[in-house]
A and B are shown apart, each in its own frame.
Chain A
Amino acid sequence: MINKSNIGEVTIEEKGFKVIIKQKEEPAQNFITGGAPMPVSYAQQQQAPVIQSGAPAGAGEKPKAEATPDNLVTIKSPMIGTFYRSASPGKPQFVQVGDEVTPGKVVCIIEAMKLFNEIESEVKGRIVKVLVEDASPVEYDQPLFLVEP
């Protein structure tokens, strides 16, 4: 379906009859953000900035996820709860920056409703960054560790 508000060019010939309707070209410069042109496909779209299509600002800003450098893999939280870096206070941390991990290695504990769940890595590599502080709440899919395979 042609976007009704976006017709750029109409050609009509006669005799044999030919109608050509073209959509307006996407503007090279998005004047709102003033930066690179907005990617068209949804798959590439960033978290929509508040001033773009009308999604109003909420009561507070939610912290935005950092962009992951292409070569690194993110270990994400499979559950909701409180993230702990060691089995209990005083015990050594499961992993630290620089450690090697393999699939099955316990990297942290996430606790919910008094149940302590050991979270295992599904990837092989070296821990480059720990993204969450000890004893802080995490949600589903929240990035926990950056791993260099």
Chain B
Amino acid sequence: MIANRGEIALRVIRTCREMGIKTVAVYSTADKDSLHVKFADEAVCIGKPASADSYLNIPHIMAAAEITNADGIHPGYGFLAENARFAEICGEHNIKFIGPTPDQIRSMGDKMTAKETMIRAGVPVVPGGESLLASLEESKSLAKDVGYPIILKATAGGGGKGMRVVWEEDEMERAYNAAKTEAAASFKNDGLYMEKFVEEPRHIEIQIAGDRYGKICHLSERDCSIQRRHQKLVEESPSPFMTPELRQRMGDAAIKAASAIGYESVGTIEFLVDKHRNFYFMEMNTRIQVEHCVTEEVTNFDLIKEQIKIASGEAISGLNYEPQMYAIECRINAEDPYNDFRPSPGKITNLHQPGGHGIRIDSHVYGGYIIPPYYDSMIAKIIAVARTREEAINTMSRALSEYVIEGVKTTIPFHQQLMKNEDFISGNFNTKFLESFKMV
């Protein structure tokens, strides 16, 4: 059973078909015409459109697993993928959760605990406090030690919420209170910790995989610095900022991080890299990620297949893998890039997908499909693969010019302009890049 929807549900179903594994799709009433429902061997409607009534509803999902006799559940990404309690419940029902153990999810889910674990494991972390901030006064004195600028972060956080950058002491009180309030509202947990704010960092993450016998390996990096409000829009491998020496140091650190918790399954360690190529552990994602396709194309592995193999008890080779090609992924969202990326759900009246050498498209939409307004806005991932970065950008540009999606607004024009941007082409960008990028 795939406890998810959209393109990732389709992705998992495809690999299951190749492996001869029968599939069950679950769907809310809003998704009854969705492609993953049509592709699966069986499908069960699990509730009303709102995620809380369907894709986040553990009793409904478990009931569906029960009536279809599911042997395993793949949680995809988002939704329940990093919900330790859900992983536990699967175990209690003798259904294999395709992912890490509940404890592993827990130890990396709380950002403060994850950081402490990394410090003990000898993985470089962003300098900062070692525990949750007890008071405004403590924040001020700690910030003096760490050195401004600092960033306040929610320990239960994600998606950029509950974060405030503070450049000098005068700003601390307002930032502290605002971050606490936002954290409480978003995560029901107002715990904050502090880190040195790494200026103009690159976001470079390392894909890892671990089996249940203790072996961990890495599949090199993805550069995900092109982000808007902490949401990734473009990812690529290898990173234009990488050197063989840095890859080895980061790869080793990623393996150390995963080994520290005896990690089993595929996962990603996210690092911030400053302009001197110092890198710092940011967080670990204990699931398959949206951008896993980039690594698949440059290392030639089916990561969903590897994930399922690991879950069924197979051992990994223990070898590390480096990129053999260049791949760039553009996330196509149903958003209007000319109007502050406002979401644009609705009916796709016309669809034509590009093709040709070096193009891969992972998408759940089709001509006539109605994009529901209840879920995230990503409708397709387009990946260009080539022997050089320049050729990959060229292939992506060519493919984007063929991509027709009518009836809704999409971010295709944004990606087209990005592929022609000088700084992007020269690899000269960091996570602040999009703040000054203007649509023409």
Interface residue ranges, A against B (CB under 8 Å): 3-5, 42, 47-48, 52-60, 62, 79-82, 112-113, 137-142
Contact = CB atoms under 8 A, between A and B. Distances in A.
Contacts of A47: 33
Contacts of A80: 44-46, 60, 63-64, 67
Interface stretch (B131-139, B166-174, B362-370): B362-370
A82 B67 contact: yes
B363 to A, nearest CB: 12
B47 interface: yes
B425 to A, nearest CB: 31
A82 B350 CA distance: 41
Contacts of A5: 350
Contact of A58 (B29, B39, B44, B369): B39
A118 B321 CA distance: 55
Given A48-B368, A54-B366, A59-B17, A141 B45 contact: yes
B35 interface: yes
A47 B348 CA distance: 16
B38 interface: yes
Contacts, number: 82
Given A54-B351, A58-B38, A59-B39, A137 B68 contact: yes
Contact of A142 (B33, B45, B370): B45
5 contacts: A54-B351, A58-B39, A60-B41, A79-B63, A139-B44
B49 to A, nearest CB: 11
A140 B47 contact: yes
B29 A57 contact: no
Contact of A140 (B41, B45, B367): B45
Nearest to A57: B38
A131 to B, nearest CB: 15
A54 B368 contact: yes
Interface in B344-383: 347, 349-351, 366-370
Nearest to B347: A42
Contact of B60 (A42, A48, A53, A79): A79
Nearest to A47: B33
Per DSSP, are chain A's interface residues mostly helix, strand or loop, or mixed? loop
A42 B370 contact: yes
B62 interface: yes
B60 A59 contact: no
B320 to A, nearest CB: 36
Nearest to A79: B63
B406 interface: yes
B423 interface: no
Contacts of B45: 80, 139-142
A140 B50 CA distance: 14
A79 B59 CA distance: 10
A53 B368 contact: yes
Contacts of A79: 60, 63
B284 interface: no
A52 B64 contact: no
Interface in B92-111: 93
Interface in B301-323: none
A54 B406 CA distance: 15
Contacts of B367: 53-54
B66 interface: yes
A144 to B, nearest CB: 13
A139 B46 contact: yes
Given A53-B368, A54-B366, A141 B29 contact: yes
A137 B67 contact: yes
Interface in B43-62: 43-48, 54, 59-60, 62
Nearest to B17: A59
Given A48-B368, A140-B46, A141-B29, A56 B63 contact: no
